Amino acid sequence: MKKIWRNKYFQYSVSFTVALLFFLVPNWEEERYSVPKSVMFSGDTLTCSVMLEHSLRTKGHSMGYLFALMQKFSDYKQCTINISPNKSEPMSQWVELSTGKTQILILNGRTDSVPNIFQDIVVASMPLNDNDDVCVVKKENYSIIQDLNLWLTHFRLTDEYNQLQNDYFKKYRIKGVLARTISNRIISPYDDYVKKYANILGWDWKLITSLMYQESKFKLGLMSHRGAVGLMQIKQEVATKFGIDNIYDPESNIKAGIMHLARLEKMYRKMGADSTNLKRLTLAAYNCGEGRMEDCMELARQSNMNPLEWSNIVKVIPLLRDKEYYTKEYIKLGRFNGKETLRFVEDIMQRYNEYCNIIIE
């Protein structure tokens, strides 16, 4: 045994083996027992995309809930999570997740499936709600799911979670409002945002809320075939005029809608509309567009009626369904049915009166 150890080549071999183990074993142990490092730190900004087809179009209230839930999670993590629907095809959304353009993808566990080519590189969270919406991330970002699952497990035990469920998954018809608001004076989950920006317009916040219900039934994810989006059914090009970039954010959407209303009201006030007619004229223009309202007013003017009295606009709108009138040279936009606009205004005012009877401030 001594002879073998005295052999210098044997000594060199042992020394080399020990040195190799010294470097390799710690690294092996680290890989074996290490937990993926969190990509979420205070001040970070993550992009969260929502599958459009199921989570947005068919479950508008769920979109609002998801936005509020992820906002609370980001507050807990002291980071920013920008959540918005993705208009691209599902496969494109998966590519954006896999390439890192999007860090989180929200989809429905019942109706959406993971393409085969991505199944080995992604991992999903526990259900975020009873609809089985889940968050999906790349495996390298698994710590996001760990943090989310841990936080959600505890959050579900709180009264705040129950309130969140109650706010976003209930009926918003007047009867439901009556049963709910006598004690807490709440109409929708977005009341605070409406109150915050109502002063821009100078209207009672309940009237703006009535308009918001008429437009979207408080469904954050609602999209029209004309490109109007969200709670106030505002178009991005309109919001951009007011310096607002993200109309999928509920606060920004409400602010943009109110600023648009304020611009329309200012225009009719400068024309000379009085307080009695001003709100209805503004609401009508919000619905059908100021171009249509210009046609209605011009027809009233040509018929020797005051174009700034709502009752006269109500009289001339049906005439614009008649070829005799909508082909006149001063009518710029042609035929106008107008039934929707008339119903829009009256429904909002009626609901507003009911809100006022329910909520006494």
Residues 6+ apart with CB under 8 A from 358: 174, 177, 178, 181, 182
Q: Which two tokens stand for residue 17?
A: 């083996």
The pLDDT value recorded for residue 175 is 61
- pLDDT averaged over every residue in the chain: 84
Residue 196 binned pLDDT confidence (cut-offs 50, 70, 90): very high
In this model, does residue 319 exceed pLDDT 50?
A: yes
- Is residue 61 one of the residues assigned to a domain? yes
Question: Are 178 and 327 part of one and the same domain?
Answer: yes
Q: What angle do CA 225, 230, 233 make, to 5 degrees?
A: 60
One domain for residues 215 and 239: yes
5 has a pLDDT exceeding 50: no
Q: Between the CA of residue 1 and those of 6, 10, 11, what are the distances in Å?
A: 9, 11, 13
Q: What is the CATH number of the domain that holds 57?
A: 3.40.190.10
Q: Residue 273 domain-assigned?
A: yes
- E strands, the chain, in order: 45-51, 80-86, 104-108, 122-124, 133-138
Last residue of a domain, one of 159, 190, 214: 159
Last residue of a domain, one of 125, 159, 193: 159
Given this model, what pLDDT does residue 144 score?
Answer: 92
User: Per the structure, how many domains does the chain have?
Assistant: 2
Mean pLDDT of 28-41: 43
- Alpha carbons 307 and 312: distance in angstroms, whole number: 7
Structure tokens at 300: 């009233």
Q: Report whether pLDDT(85) > 60.
A: yes
* Residue 62 located in a structural domain: yes
Query: Kind of pairing, strands 80-86 and 45-51?
Result: parallel
Domain assignment present for residue 201? The answer is: yes
In a domain, 21, yes or no: no
Give 91: exposed, middle or buried? Use CB within 10 Å, 0-12, 13-18, 19+.
exposed
Are 291 and 334 in the same domain?
yes
Q: Say if residue 178 is in the same domain as residue 118.
A: no
Do 346 and 202 belong together in one domain? Answer: yes
This model's pTM is above 0.75: yes
Same domain? 149 vs 185: no
Residues 223 and 351 both lie in one domain: yes
Residue 92 included in any domain: yes
Greater confidence (107 vs 294) lies with 294
Helices marked H in 228-361 — which ranges?
Answer: 236-241, 250-271, 275-288, 290-302, 310-316, 323-326, 339-358
Alpha-carbon distance 193 to 251, whole Å? 6
Query: Which range among 71-85, 224-238, 275-289 has the greatest average pLDDT?
Result: 275-289
Q: For the residues 172-185, what does the mean pLDDT come to?
A: 56
- Which residue range forms the structural domain that includes residue 286? 174-358
Residue finishing a domain among 159, 192, 226: 159
Q: Is residue 169 part of a domain?
A: no
CATH of the domain at 254: 1.10.530.10
154 and 179 assigned to the same domain: no
pLDDT at 300 over 80: yes
**What local confidence, expressed as pLDDT, does residue 18 receive?**
43
- Mean pLDDT of all residues in 180-204: 85
Considering only 4-18, 98-112, 168-182, which range has the smallest mean pLDDT? Answer: 4-18
Choose between 337 and 229: higher pLDDT: 337
